Amino acid sequence: MFSSPLQNYLDAHKVTLTTTQQKGRSIFATHQHDRGSTIITSQPVALVSVSDDYCQHCFRQSHYAASEHTTLQRCSRCKTAYFCGMECFKSAWINYHRYVCGDDDWRTFDEEILERIVCSLIRYKQQNTTSPAPLKSTHSSSTLPNESIHVTMEAFSYLEDHLDDQPAHITQQLSELASKVLQRPYLKQKAEQCGISHADLVRFQSQSQCNAISVQDEHLFVVGEGLYPVASFFNHSCRPNAAAVFDGALLMIKAIEPIYPGEEITLAYIDIGRSRGYRQRNLRDRYFFTCDCVRCSDQGWLRLLDRMVGDDEEDEHEDIANVSRNNNIHSHLSPPSSSLPKERRKKTDQLDTLRQHINHWDLLTLSRQYDRLKNIHPDPSQPLSLGTFTHHMLQLFTPYVWSVSNPDLHYTNNQSLYSSIPPPPPPTTADSTSTPPISPCSMTSSISASLSLSTSPPLSPESALPFPSSSNSKPAMGASSSFMNQDFYAEFDDPLPNFAQPPVQPNYQSILTKAMETCLSFPVNPHSLMPSTTTANTTTITTVSSNDTTHMLSIPVFRISTLSGVHHLFYEAMENKHWPFAVKCGLYILIQYCFLYPPYHPTMAHHLMMLAKTGWNFIVNDRIREKVYARGVRRWIALAKETAKHAFGIHGCHYQEAVNLEWLFRREHQLVLG
């Protein structure tokens, strides 16, 4: 039987394309895909950059992925486009740049995507021998067949367009756009010669709207938009088992759970950290379906979640939520709601309320109380506060969420997850016999943060401790075992807390179900200051304001509105280097993410890395020596490393940063453990 290039390509990657009645074409696994494995890569048929900081062809800052330095070169003709090297410049030139180099015409985003689709199609139809080189992976040395242009274009020909579902005014806009693009001098004649009509362009644009994907850099910032035909076959779930991450502009679909033969492989098209109302509206308006996943369906095991976090869009602070939430996979987010001055004032008040709650949260006391070994749990007759909620849930979620499904994290033998990864070189260059000072991690206002090893003064003379390994000398590069095999993570084997008795089954689903049931069992405070359209848990504290008037302040602990606000405060605190405050925000966000995202989701890996760095800066800058904090930071580093390894891969910046931070922590841990 004849098999097409696309079929062969999918077969080689152990997946199959099947049509189901409910979802149309869907991708199913034919073999097991381990967590962290790259299921497939996908080449774009059209790609638009929205950032000048990256090569406009491959979306990297340098031709050499490992290099931290930007080495972009400017096109000498138009002096506006940047490329990382000659190879990318040539490919971009063949693709599209030759048509627009020096052309000052302003194009909308949709116009540019459509032009690029038409250019790719013309080139393919004309069987042009000067094809641009496909994007290459810097991450893997896979022996699987690369995606040929035939595979990409065959997949493109099948893309869902939903043209019949588009409202009339949108169809009209698509038609106007198609006419405009067809007027471009470099397209008009060629399109005609290739038999590409106005109706085709209308369809392409409609396809683009329900298939295009936001391209993100490693820090989850959106750097462009692309139409990736092969990746477009994956359907959506609000609890996906795979995620799209990018190696430059090359899209990689990674398994974030073990996926077994016969299982459908799903991605999230929208940010799953949003309310049910927001998700449903976006999926309906842009993708024309009603989600029936385990979280959205009335029968799904995760159905309690939206009840807990609030399922109305009103539960969200749209503008606050947008501060750092650009991690939705598919683009064309609806614009943020208009912010009237009154609305703004309300939100500022809500942030102030949150700030007060976080200031009242006694991190040290609660960290000591909610120790898994002590089996403390909050008074079931009182509503939970931000602090009690966070510390209570931390016992249940970490490290079990990660470790139950991952024997590596049990650390019962020396073959831990480090066994194949050499430790980083000691972070000193000048004198290999002296120990460099302990230093904080740099955290700029952006999410991007890297280890800064040379700028900060030593913590104290005692910080220059020898390595805590059996010998007092530094480990040789590449020698992992003597460095990593102590019971550094022994506390991960703590017993379950009392409230998880009888023991929850050792799988993620039962832990999460137990956590949701526990949270919903706490009483609700009726005096909430936040929007309240559904039942939500709130808490009350008594505070004394500056003019000594006692106020009752209450917040809904689990709600997405609260998460959005704390998210905002987390970034604010990091920017102001207010580490204790940032740590509290980071812990609360982690717990909410444990509910909202699968544990190996890229958003989770990214947040864990931020939390690890925040924790490290807290103990270093504030010269903290409490053992309970050291344990916490150690845990965040381990989990950041573990999650980043699976979500982004060991070549990604998060994993490398976690390895470096672990190295620093281990070197200093005698100091911080006292």
Ligand X SMILES: C[S@@+](CC[C@H](N)C(=O)[O-])C[C@H]1O[C@@H](n2cnc3c(N)ncnc32)[C@H](O)[C@@H]1O
Please tell me whether residue 331 binds ligand X under the rule CB under 6 A: no
- Tell the smallest beta-carbon distance from residue 288 to ligand X (Å): 5
Distance, CA of 332 to CA of 337 (rounded, Å): 14
Distance, CA of 82 to CA of 71 (rounded, Å): 10
In this chain, which of 72, 210, 384, 393 binds ligand X, going by CB under 6 A?
210
Distance, CA of 332 to CA of 589 (rounded, Å): 26
- Tell the smallest beta-carbon distance from residue 546 to ligand X (Å): 51
The one-character DSSP state at 561 is: H
C-alpha separations of 320 from 93, 339, 474, 565 in Å: 40, 10, 46, 7
With respect to ligand X, which residue has the nearer C-beta, 56 or 266? 266
For 54, half-sphere exposure in the C-beta direction (CA atoms, 13 angstrom radius) is 22
- Tell the smallest beta-carbon distance from residue 272 to ligand X (Å): 12
With respect to ligand X, which residue has the nearer C-beta, 291 or 658? 291
With respect to ligand X, which residue has the nearer C-beta, 196 or 265? 265
- Tell the smallest beta-carbon distance from residue 309 to ligand X (Å): 20
Please tell me whether residue 157 binds ligand X under the rule CB under 6 A: no
Neighbours of 275 (CB within 10 A): 22
In this chain, which of 87, 111, 154, 160 binds ligand X, going by CB under 6 A?
160
Please tell me whether residue 291 binds ligand X under the rule CB under 6 A: yes
The one-character DSSP state at 392 is: H
Q: What's CA 246's distance to the chain center, in Å?
A: 11
Q: In the range 217-246, which residues lie near ligand X by CB under 6 A? A: 232-233, 235-237
What does DSSP say about strands 15-20 and 38-42: parallel, antiparallel, or unpaired? unpaired
- Tell the smallest beta-carbon distance from residue 38 to ligand X (Å): 19
246: Cβ contacts below 8 Å, ≥ 6 apart: 59, 215, 216, 217, 218, 252
Please tell me whether residue 660 binds ligand X under the rule CB under 6 A: no
With respect to ligand X, which residue has the nearer C-beta, 25 or 360? 25
In this chain, which of 11, 16, 23, 356 binds ligand X, going by CB under 6 A?
23
Segment interacting with ligand X (CB under 6 A) among 19-27, 185-193, 248-256, 520-528? 19-27
Distance, CA of 357 to CA of 383 (rounded, Å): 14
Segment interacting with ligand X (CB under 6 A) among 130-138, 216-224, 273-281, 285-293? 285-293
With respect to ligand X, which residue has the nearer C-beta, 156 or 483? 156
- Tell the smallest beta-carbon distance from residue 121 to ligand X (Å): 18
Please tell me whether residue 25 binds ligand X under the rule CB under 6 A: yes
Alpha-carbon dihedral angle through residues 252, 257, 261, 263, given to the nearest 10 degrees: -90
- Contact present, 649 and 655 (Cβ < 8 Å): yes
In this chain, which of 1, 3, 21, 22 binds ligand X, going by CB under 6 A?
22
Segment interacting with ligand X (CB under 6 A) among 16-24, 92-100, 546-554, 656-664? 16-24
Q: How big, in percent rounded to 5, are the helix, strand and coil portions of the chain?
A: 45, 10, 45
Segment interacting with ligand X (CB under 6 A) among 21-29, 270-278, 490-498, 578-586? 21-29
- Contact present, 663 and 428 (Cβ < 8 Å): no
In this chain, which of 54, 221, 278, 289 binds ligand X, going by CB under 6 A?
289
In this chain, which of 188, 288, 362, 446 binds ligand X, going by CB under 6 A?
288
- Tell the smallest beta-carbon distance from residue 492 to ligand X (Å): 36
Residue nearest to ligand X (CB): 24
Count of residues near ligand X by CB under 6 A = 18
Distance, CA of 502 to CA of 627 (rounded, Å): 29
Tokens of 21: 């009645």
Please tell me whether residue 515 binds ligand X under the rule CB under 6 A: no
Please tell me whether residue 397 binds ligand X under the rule CB under 6 A: no
- Contact present, 228 and 213 (Cβ < 8 Å): yes
Tokens of 224: 């462009």
Please tell me whether residue 82 binds ligand X under the rule CB under 6 A: no
Please tell me whether residue 390 binds ligand X under the rule CB under 6 A: no
671: Cβ contacts below 8 Å, ≥ 6 apart: 438, 459, 462, 463, 465, 625
Residues at the contact surface with ligand X, assessed by CB under 6 A:
22-26, 160, 162, 210-211, 232-233, 235-237, 287-289, 291
